[in-house]
Amino acid sequence: LASLPIERRNAALQAVAERLTDGIPAIMTANREDLDDAEQTGLPSPLLKRLKYDESKVEESVRSIESLIGQEDPLGRVLSRTELDTDLILEKVSCPIGVIGVVFESRPDALVQISTLCLKSGNAVLLKGGSEARRTNGILAEIINEAVTAIDGRFTAAVQNLSTREEFRALLQLDDLVDLIIPRGSNELVRSIQSSTKIPVLGHAAGICHTYVDEEADLDMAVKVAFDAKCQYPAVCNAMETLLVHREVAADFLPRMAEQYVGAGVELRGDEETLKLIEGRAASMNDWSTEYNDMVLSIKVVGSLEEAIDHINRFGSHHTDAIITQDEMRARDFMDRVDSSSVMWNCSTRFADGYRYGLGAEVGISTNKTHARGPVGLEGLTIYKWKLQGNGQIVADYVGSDAKRFTHRKLI
Amino acid sequence: LASLPIERRNAALQAVAERLTDGIPAIMTANREDLDDAEQTGLPSPLLKRLKYDESKVEESVRSIESLIGQEDPLGRVLSRTELDTDLILEKVSCPIGVIGVVFESRPDALVQISTLCLKSGNAVLLKGGSEARRTNGILAEIINEAVTAIDGRFTAAVQNLSTREEFRALLQLDDLVDLIIPRGSNELVRSIQSSTKIPVLGHAAGICHTYVDEEADLDMAVKVAFDAKCQYPAVCNAMETLLVHREVAADFLPRMAEQYVGAGVELRGDEETLKLIEGRAASMNDWSTEYNDMVLSIKVVGSLEEAIDHINRFGSHHTDAIITQDEMRARDFMDRVDSSSVMWNCSTRFADGYRYGLGAEVGISTNKTHARGPVGLEGLTIYKWKLQGNGQIVADYVGSDAKRFTHRKLI
């Protein structure tokens, strides 16, 4: 796969898009059966909604594939080129990671999205979806496989669908063969994967995001942004869970903010100082490290920027945190010292997303400290190799008293 | 540490260089005591040699630090800048990884090298050296600490020396606090670390490197390069362990090559076809996956470029592999499809090294498939964060029928 030119990889993606469109009736039938089963076993309605993969969703997947075809080739990019000596040229070139294992819950569109991202980036992928979607995932994997192998036999086995949990568990032990695991699903799923494999895991277990309203904040802006961060879509990882407010502005800001939240039905949990200013439940220590994913918000008054940074680094999940302030120095300090994958100044944490960041489709959001951090697009599915081209050079010539010298001239 | 400007970090490095020079008598005394103990306990002489840290080695460390001061700041580099919308600017900015644990065997200069690389890149480091060097390591860590804290109190605890194996074992369990482990030492050390921590480990367990002499090779060049790859310094990870030769040139090439090797005292272990052409021991299956680190070489005749690539991907350690050929297409194919951190064309595998690659000092050589691969310099000690700067933007404005649209204009 690593040596297939971009034209072949894009042709494979085009074939997938076409066969998906042709396959809509068969996909609908399979999905209908999965849905019927799920209803009978009493799957909760939000999960049923995610399991549904109808004509409009297939069309959305097809549009995503077409946009992916338009994206630049992530492979073969020369990241640096150095002349080590005359006719001894070193290149650092992007290449696929290799074999990627993906486990995802419910949404069948994840199968299409991730396998097409892997095809574009020259990786082989083994997928395991939720058992409630097994018929839908089965036919989607079949369609993708038929499409790509018709383009080039070398795509055989590029996309493989695992049907049992046991198969995926076995995969997690193959750290000499599998290079990366990407879990897409609940925090529990991610944590359980992280603790049961030696293979690097790309993702995030929790999204405990903060907005800090500084003493130098524009309070009108703060109300607007903090409302969006909590309420625009509270069920997702980049929604705010804790609001930190500087003591100097708390009395002005909190009553106005609380009015908005209460109007929208947000349950407020405050520290002692907060509850002197607004009504709400008392927050326990536990609240500072809880991801509600719901219309619940914890609020704390802090005495300084320092205290806000410390609170975020201690209780947060290193996902996305924002400061609202008109003071650039304080904003820069916050953004340098908050140890999170995304740090924001005067805008909503909800912007932390591959599509909004302009990365195209997203593999997921990573809170890892190595490889890829924050929203991860195609680039996170690549690594690089070093290519050294010479004309017979040997190291012995560069050692000793009359040794040749390296030029180390940076060409790119 | 992440927010200390480069001037402070370089001043700290300058102070380390000066105090090391001043500390030479004390370092010598401590090292002499370590050496005496080691001699008494019968440490083998190659290890004694590595343990020795005399005046000239301190001076070498000081020169390395001065060269490190001259290197570009690895932090705060804007890797990309995108306008998401008017006054909503996204930057991807390099930053330190965080807390790094390093375990190394014997050579005390590793302590100086790694801790100064970490200081330059804004990382905190916890070091554990071999117990045979405990006095030398102790005084080096003390000197470094005194030097950096005199420059800025924020360097307190930036470099910490662990004195017992138990402390390091405990560190390996702190995957919520420690971001990266770098082991420098034997393959056994690296493997034991890899299997006992969930923290990402940067390094390589083995260096089973190949040179493949293609049917289109310039045989004079092949003899010269394959000799260097094996003999120039056989004890290191980038030395060749297996020579692959295309059948078409084997009868011409192998007798000439063997003469050179035998003259230099290399023990040859060949497959059946090889032993029809030259003298040597029969190679067992085991030989193909053995890192001799010694004047021993396994040799195999292959029928095609394909077979050579398959052999390398199957038996190699994904470290460094070279092809000797005059045919560019075949060379490109080899370099694309051999899945190793460094792939080379018409030069010696011995070039795979941070200094020779022009990276400055090297943290180590990584065979990982994520984060950093091949020789790793300062850049491998950094990651990035996303910084989004707005003026009150909220996601709700970008959703729905009359939504604002992202511009996604690439600025860098």
* Mean pLDDT per 10-residue segment, chain B (412 residues): 96 98 97 96 88 94 94 96 97 98 89 95 96 95 97 96 93 95 91 91 94 98 98 96 98 98 98 98 97 97 98 97 98 97 98 93 92 95 98 96 93 94
* B310 at interface of A, judged by CB pairs closer than 8 A: no
Position B9 scores a pLDDT of: 98
> A41 vs chain B: nearest CA distance in angstroms?
34
Q: Which of A198, A337, A350 sits opposite B2 (nearest CB)?
A: A337
Average pLDDT on A52-74 reads: 94
What confidence tens digit (pLDDT) does each residue in A94-126 have? 999 999 999 998 689 999 999 999 999 999 999
Is pLDDT of A205 > 90? Answer: no
Looking at residue B45, what is its pLDDT? 86
HSE-up of residue A295 (Cα within 13 Å, Cβ side):
11
Residues in A closer than 8 angstroms to B91, CB to CB, are none
Among A residues 75-134, those touching chain B with beta carbons less than 8 Å apart:
82, 84, 88, 90, 95, 97-98
In single-letter form, the type of residue at position A46 comes to P
Q: Does B327 touch chain A (CB under 8 A)?
A: no
Average pLDDT over residues A348-372: 93
What is the pLDDT, as a whole number, of residue B178? 97
Q: What is the pLDDT of residue A163?
A: 86
CB contact under 8 A, A399 and B357: no
Query: For B335, phi and psi rounded to 5 degrees?
Result: -70, -30
Closest by alpha carbon to B101, among B164, B162, B145? B162
> Does ipTM top 0.90?
yes
Q: Would an 8 Å CB–CB cutoff place A14 in contact with chain B?
A: no
What is the predicted pLDDT for the residue at B78? Answer: 97
Q: pLDDT by residue (tens digit) across A170-200?
A: 999 999 999 999 999 888 999 999 889 999 9
Q: Which residue of B has its CA nearest to A5?
A: B336
Side chain identity, residue B346: N
Nearest by CB: B200 against A200, A384, A394: A200
The reported pLDDT for the residue numbered B255 is: 98
Position B401 scores a pLDDT of 85
Provide the 8-state DSSP code for B73: P
* Choice between A93 and B360, residue whose per-residue pLDDT is larger: A93
| Size of chain B, expressed as the number of residues it contains | 412
Q: Where are the beta strands (DSSP E) in A156-280?
A: 159-161, 180-184, 209-213, 240-246, 267-270
Average pLDDT, chain A: 96
Q: How far apart are CA B138 and CA B30, in angstroms?
A: 9
Task: Please indicate whether, in this complex, the C-beta atoms of B227 and A375 are within 8 angstroms of each other.
Answer: no
- Cβ-based neighbours of A145, under 8 Å, separated by 6 or more: A155, A156, A159
Amino acid identity for residue B342 in this structure:
S
Per-residue pLDDT, B72: 94
Tokens encoding A297: 């918000």
CA–CA gap between residue A212 and residue B111 (Å, rounded)? 40
| A350 touching chain B per CB within 8 A | yes
% chain A with pLDDT above 90: 91
Q: What is the pLDDT of residue A231?
A: 98
Position A260 pLDDT exceeds 80 = yes
Is B201 within 8 Å of B183 (Cβ atoms)? yes
Cα separation, A176 vs A361, in Å, equals 28
CB–CB contact B225 A98 (8 Å): no
Q: Of A2, A372, A394, which has the smallest distance from its Cβ to B225's Cβ?
A: A394
Contact B347 A3 (CB under 8 A): no
- Tell me the backbone φ, ψ of residue A242, rounded to 5 degrees: -135, 135
